[in-house]
C-alpha cells in the first residue's frame, strides 16, 4: 500500500469518467497547495520556523518548501519575531512589493501584539501597518501551531473568490492602511 496521499478534490459534480467544478475552486486548490512563503524572521520565532521547515515537521508536505526571499516571487508573508518600529516601514515595503493575491501570517505573540515588549520601540502588532489574515498565538508557537496556522491560510486560499481582490470591501481594507 502506498503512503502517498493526494489532496482532496474540491466540491463538484462527478460521475463515471467526468468531474466538474467551478474555476474558483480549481484555482483555489492549486494556490493553496503551492504557496510560496516569504519568511520575515527577526528573532526567536524564526528558529521555530526553521524547525517547521526541517525534516521532522517538513512544511514541504503542504507544497510550501519553496521559500522566497524576493517579495515579488512570494504569496505568503510569514512574519515571525519582534518588529521594532524602525523595522515597520521595511516590513510594509516588503508587503507592498508582493503581487496580489497575497496573504499574511503573524507568527507568535511579538508579531501579533508586540508580545512581552510593551515598550516605546516595539510595534504592538504588525496589523498596525499591514492587514493580517491569520495569527498564531504562543511565545514561541510550536511547529505544530505553525502548521495549524499555515493550514488556516490554506483554508482561506481554497475558499477565496478569484474576484475578491477587486471587491469594494478589499479595496476599503487596503485603503484603511493607506495602500492603494
Work out the end-to-end distance of the chain between its first and last CA atoms, rounded to an integer number of angstroms: 52
- Asked if 125 is part of the footprint of ligand SF4 (rule: CB under 6 A), the reply reads no
- Total residues interacting with ligand SF4, rule: CB under 6 A: 11
- Please choose, out of 102-110, 144-152, 156-164, 171-179, the segment that lies near ligand SF4 by the rule CB under 6 A: 102-110
Query: From the CB of 129, what's the least distance to ligand SF4, in Å?
Result: 17
DSSP-H helix ranges across the chain: 23-32, 44-53, 88-97, 108-113, 143-159, 168-176
Query: From the CB of 110, what's the least distance to ligand SF4, in Å?
Result: 3
In the list 33, 43, 124, 162, the residue contacting ligand SF4 (rule: CB under 6 A) is: 43
Contact 146, 54 (CB under 8 A): no
- Asked if 44 is part of the footprint of ligand SF4 (rule: CB under 6 A), the reply reads yes
Query: From the CB of 14, what's the least distance to ligand SF4, in Å?
Result: 45
- Please choose, out of 38-46, 62-70, 151-159, 172-180, the segment that lies near ligand SF4 by the rule CB under 6 A: 38-46
- Please choose, out of 29-37, 66-74, 106-114, 144-152, the segment that lies near ligand SF4 by the rule CB under 6 A: 106-114
The number of C-alpha atoms within 13 Å of 39 and in the hemisphere containing its C-beta is 20
Largest distance between two CA atoms of the chain: 64
Contact 71, 125 (CB under 8 A): no
Nearer to ligand SF4, 33 or 42 (CB): 42
Nearer to ligand SF4, 29 or 38 (CB): 38
**111 is written with which cell numbers?**
508579531
Strand-strand pairing, 37-41 and 18-20: unpaired
Query: From the CB of 152, what's the least distance to ligand SF4, in Å?
Result: 18
The SS3 of residue 86 is: coil
Amino acid at each position: 500500500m502506498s503512503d502517498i496521499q493526494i489532496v482532496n478534490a474540491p466540491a463538484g459534480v462527478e460521475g463515471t469518467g467526468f468531474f466538474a467544478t467551478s474555476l474558483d475552486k480549481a484555482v483555489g486548490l492549486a494556490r493553496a497547495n503551492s504557496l510560496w512563503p516569504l519568511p520575515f524572521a527577526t528573532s526567536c520565532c524564526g528558529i521555530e520556523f526553521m524547525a517547521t521547515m526541517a525534516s521532522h515537521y517538513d512544511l514541504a508536505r503542504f507544497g510550501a518548501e519553496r521559500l522566497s526571499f524576493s517579495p515579488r516571487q512570494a504569496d505568503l508573508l510569514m512574519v515571525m519575531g519582534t518588529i521594532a518600529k524602525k523595522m515597520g516601514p521595511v516590513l510594509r515595503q516588503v508587503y507592498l512589493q508582493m503581487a496580489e493575491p497575497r496573504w499574511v501570517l503573524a507568527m507568535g505573540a511579538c508579531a501579533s501584539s508586540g508580545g512581552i515588549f510593551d515598550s516605546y520601540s516595539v510595534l504592538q502588532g504588525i496589523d498596525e501597518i499591514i492587514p493580517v489574515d491569520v495569527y498564531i498565538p504562543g511565545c514561541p508557537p510550536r511547529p505544530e501551531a505553525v502548521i495549524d496556522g499555515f493550514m488556516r491560510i490554506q483554508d482561506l486560499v481554497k475558499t477565496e473568490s478569484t474576484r475578491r481582490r477587486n471587491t469594494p470591501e478589499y479595496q476599503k481594507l487596503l485603503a484603511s492602511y493607506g495602500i492603494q
